[in-house]
């Protein structure tokens, strides 16, 4: 899992693209943020701000990267970009469809400078289809995320993860996976390739538990399937302290263990009943039962075999001993804490570069590496082409 020899030109900003390239940077890739000469990545300025005086989002997903600031709307800026492309392995963009073509930095154009280039486009809806030109922040694609949020709708169910987070992180993760896959394919002799990723498609891919019924004439709704709240032994319950626990006893053995541990052996035989009245009665009894103790009291009382788990706040979750044991949360001395690379193994990434690139910090360094001397760089800077 080492990408030390891979160089990526990252034209994305905000969250999905930078999250993808942060994973790749953590794995050793040389990620170069290609920013405009004016504001750069908007996330630099979005509150809350860290003690490094940048937006917390930017701080979290741009560590260990380099930054070059180019005006790609100018011919001179594009020429500089083309020179960088010659030495790159990957170009990754997150513009609306058509923007890269207008800027003349599309895949077909760039392969004239690097035939083996892996080029990845990430957008809300992809490069084709009737929604292709919609803005990536158009929350209509959260409607697809509803396939994931088919939980029972009642007052005891806590808020779901916002659809935009599902699509942003899912899209970024799949982009990183696809880029690595493209690099592997190239190593196997297939040459460069173009990858088109729609965040909506990725979210739809997450719906495998519901897609069969939806594709074969049914229309699954909240509360109608075992995984969306239809059965009381797979649901979320409020506890005495206003917190929540999850209960996932789909298998009979877990249901039996739970009933025995709470002294309700009389309920063992009703597992898998499909009688609406019985299901409603069991749900009501479970709601009353879980409301008799606090969340933490239930965790202390029940064994792991009851498949009852806590619903934590973000702060509680990230401070949990499980994550501490996995080393997931990194707390460097010279940077704010962050969630690190989510995989372990003998060759897992262990990046210690917590530096953040200033806007255009590496412009001179990178342009010098592709043949621009100091006088040329000064001329470009004076013309507003670079920063």
Active centre residues (catalytic): 168
d(CA 223, CA 218): 14
Distance CA 338, CA 286 (A): 38
Which secondary-structure segment (H or E) carries 275? Answer: none
Contact in structure between 69 and 41 (CB atoms under 8 Å): no
Compute the distance between CA of residue 166 and CA of residue 269 in angstroms, rounded to an integer. Answer: 38
Residues in contact with 378: Cβ distance below 8 Å, sequence separation at least 6, in sequence order: none
276 burial (CB, 10 Å; 0-12 / 13-18 / 19+) is exposed
Integer Cα distance of 205 and 252 in angstroms: 29
Q: Per-residue DSSP letters for 201-256? A: HHHHHTTHHHHHHHHTT----TTSSTTTTSSTTEEEEE-TTS-EEEEE--SHHHHH
368 three-state secondary structure: helix
Burial class (CB within 10 angstroms; exposed 0-12, middle 13-18, buried 19+) of 224 = middle
The alpha carbons of the chain give a radius of gyration, in whole angstroms, of: 25
Residue (of 37, 26, 101) closest to 67 by Cα position: 37
Residue 309 contacts residue 248 (beta carbons within 8 Å)? yes
Closest CA to 27 of 60, 54, 64, 56: 64
Q: Please check whether residue 8 is in contact with residue 89, taking contact to mean a CB–CB distance below 8 angstroms.
A: yes
Phi/psi at 257 (nearest 5 deg)?
-60, -45
Whether a cis peptide bond, with omega within 30° of 0, leads into 160 is no
């Amino acid at each position: 899992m080492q990408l030390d020899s891979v160089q990526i030109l990252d034209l994305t900003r905000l969250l999905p693209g930078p999250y993808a390239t942060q994973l790749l940077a953590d794995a050793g890739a040389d990620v170069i943020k290609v920013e405009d000469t004016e504001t750069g990545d908007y996330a630099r300025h979005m509150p809350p701000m860290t003690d490094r005086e940048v937006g917390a989002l930017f701080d979290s997903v741009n560590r260990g990267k380099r930054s070059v600031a180019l005006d790609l709307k100018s011919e001179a800026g594009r020429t500089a970009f083309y020179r960088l492309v010659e030495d790159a392995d990957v170009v990754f963009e997150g513009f609306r469809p058509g923007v890269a073509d207008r800027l003349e930095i599309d895949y077909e154009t760039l392969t004239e400078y690097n035939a083996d280039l892996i080029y990845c486009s990430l957008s809300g809806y992809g490069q084709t289809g009737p929604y292709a030109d919609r803005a990536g922040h158009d929350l209509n694609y959260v409607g697809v995320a509803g396939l994931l949020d088919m939980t029972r709708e009642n007052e005891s169910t806590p808020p779901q993860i916002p659809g935009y987070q599902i699509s942003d992180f899912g899209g970024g993760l799949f982009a990183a996976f696809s880029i690595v896959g493209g690099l592997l394919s190239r190593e196997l002799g297939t040459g460069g390739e173009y990858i088109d990723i729609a965040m909506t498609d990725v979210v739809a891919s997450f719906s495998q538990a519901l897609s069969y019924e939806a594709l074969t004439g049914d229309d699954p709704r909240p509360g109608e399937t075992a995984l969306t709240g239809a059965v009381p032994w797979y649901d979320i319950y409020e506890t005495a302290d206003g917190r929540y626990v999850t209960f996932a006893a789909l298998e009979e053995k877990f249901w039996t263990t739970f009933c025995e541990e709470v002294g309700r052996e009389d309920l063992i035989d009703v597992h898998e009943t499909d009688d609406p009245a019985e299901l409603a009665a069991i749900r009501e009894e479970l709601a009353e039962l879980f409301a008799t103790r606090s969340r933490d009291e239930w965790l202390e009382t029940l064994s792991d075999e009851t498949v009852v788990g806590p619903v934590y706040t973000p702060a509680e979750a990230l401070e949990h001993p499980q994550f501490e044991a996995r080393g997931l949360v990194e707390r460097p001395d010279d940077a704010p804490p962050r969630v690190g690379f989510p995989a372990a193994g003998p060759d897992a990434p262990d990046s210690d570069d917590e530096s953040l690139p200033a806007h255009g910090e590496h412009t001179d360094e990178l342009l010098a590496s592709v043949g621009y001397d100091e006088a040329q760089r000064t001329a470009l800077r004076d013309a507003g082409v670079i920063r």
